[in-house]
Amino acid sequence: MNPTDNMLMSRVDGAAPMGEFLRENYWFPAILSERLIADGAPQRVRLTGKNYVAWRSTDGRVGFFNEACPHRLVSLTLARNEDNALRCIFHGWKYSVTGETIEIPTEPFRQAELCKRVPLRHYPAREAAGIVWVWLGSDAPAQFPDFEFNSLPDDHVFTVRQDVRYNWVQDVEGGMDAAHVSQLHSSWIAGLAEVGNAGADSAPVYEFEDTPGGFRYAAIRHLPDGKRYIRVNQYVAPWFSFICPDQVPDGERLCLISVPTDDTNAVHWMVRYSPHRPLQPSYMMPKPVPSNPDADRSSWPPNPPGTAENIWGQDREAMRNGSFTGFTEHLVTEDFVVAESQGAIVDRSKEFLNQGDRAVIAVRRILLDAVKAFQRGEPHAITRHENVAYPAVRPTGDVVDETADWRELSL
């Protein structure tokens, strides 16, 4: 990938085409629903380098505005939250949860008329899977991404998110990189059924199938007993990665969502869900982790314990005692470490790739083609997700014999 394409694909700040493409085409996961309390503190949300304010009104609705008050640009995170409205603390201008300006207390003559002309930007918001989703586009919203996790009972789905310190595309790539599981996560998966099988063959062969809005692919590993361990992951552009359950075929699934905060920061969302039953305790999620009884789902899994200056806090003693990576906080901490160490925006023109990177390459091709089509004013297959059948998107996997076809695995 040449450096110009790399930046076109990665950068979202300011007038970057990718930022505009994302805002105009997709609902963004913005903030955990639980962070917004009726009449409570408004929260800052940063997406594609722009700051917004999210808040919950007296009667429970979500309001979503630009952070800056349209009057003199004071932060509305400071605002009073009362009577289903935000009131700026500077001059008391008051904005309803549905986006009307309802009071301009500093205007002596023509308050009602002026209220109608205040250019408050108000964005549609919806809640599902414990996430507040927002539509930032200028046109009418695209269809809501109604994946199956967005309509499951509360105890069948659990969502966490973490701020990560690198570009969002690196985070997407981590989700769609099946080969690294055998290496980076070898200590975490050892002994686990069935994902532990990934340790038996570090060179999975990939097979692909185009799907609306992206693709799915099988990572096929050969086991010592002649069977094959198959993991089928699915990418739904621009940022959804559906990951095969650890326990196949019908264990708990994972959807990763990699949302750009700005050019060099992202939010790594993890939605764990089961279509079949309430979620069970798991090392993947905070509550069942004994060492983290109070883990905050707005900041989970843990980021690396250090930074580049101290080699991210890597624990060489733990490595001597059997940890492959020296990061024992969480499996996903290992993902955060390697992505952060690539640099804030990795220079893909300097890479040397192999067969194990084919899914990552497929992601890049879609994102780059889509943003180039957007620049030309043309639609692309992923634009506005027009033909994605959301409830049908399911990752899967199984241990099968030589003759089985991965495309026929039950979903």
Stretch that binds Fe ion, among 36-44, 143-151, 327-335, 393-401 (CB under 5 A): 327-335
Q: For Fe ion, which residue has the nearest CB?
A: 335
Stretch that binds Fe ion, among 17-25, 29-37, 199-207, 328-336 (CB under 5 A): 328-336
Smallest distance from Fe ion to CB 34, Å: 26
In the complex with Fe ion, the residue whose CB is nearer, 329 or 335, is 335
- By the 8 A CB rule, do 349 and 184 touch? no
Smallest distance from Fe ion to CB 262, Å: 23
* β partners of residue 62: 56
In the complex with Fe ion, the residue whose CB is nearer, 43 or 258, is 258
In the complex with Fe ion, the residue whose CB is nearer, 6 or 325, is 325
How many angstroms separate the Cα of 282 from the Cα of each of 187, 213, 253, 278? 16, 30, 12, 12
Closest C-alpha to 258, from 275, 271, 245: 271
Contacts made by residues 38-44, CB under 8 angstroms, sequence distance 24+: 39/81, 39/82, 40/81, 41/77, 41/81, 42/76, 42/77, 42/79, 42/81, 42/86, 43/77, 44/75, 44/77
Smallest distance from Fe ion to CB 181, Å: 6
Stretch that binds Fe ion, among 244-252, 332-340, 345-353, 385-393 (CB under 5 A): 332-340
Under the criterion CB under 5 A, does residue 171 sit at the interface with Fe ion? Answer: no
Give me 357's structure tokens: 């990177």
Closest C-alpha to 388, from 145, 31, 194: 145
Smallest distance from Fe ion to CB 216, Å: 18
Under the criterion CB under 5 A, does residue 173 sit at the interface with Fe ion? Answer: no
Stretch that binds Fe ion, among 2-10, 200-208, 333-341, 353-361 (CB under 5 A): 333-341
In the complex with Fe ion, the residue whose CB is nearer, 49 or 251, is 251
- By the 8 A CB rule, do 194 and 399 touch? yes
Number of residues that bind Fe ion (CB under 5 A): 1
In the complex with Fe ion, the residue whose CB is nearer, 19 or 199, is 199
Under the criterion CB under 5 A, does residue 335 sit at the interface with Fe ion? Answer: yes
In the complex with Fe ion, the residue whose CB is nearer, 16 or 184, is 184
Q: Is 335 exposed, middle or buried (0-12, 13-18, 19+ CB in 10 A)?
A: buried
Smallest distance from Fe ion to CB 335, Å: 4
How far apart (Å, rounded) are the C-alpha atoms in residues 303 and 298?
12
Q: Is the dihedral of CA 293, 298, 300, 303 positive or negative?
A: negative
Smallest distance from Fe ion to CB 187, Å: 12
Provide the binding-site residues for Fe ion, judged by CB under 5 A: 335
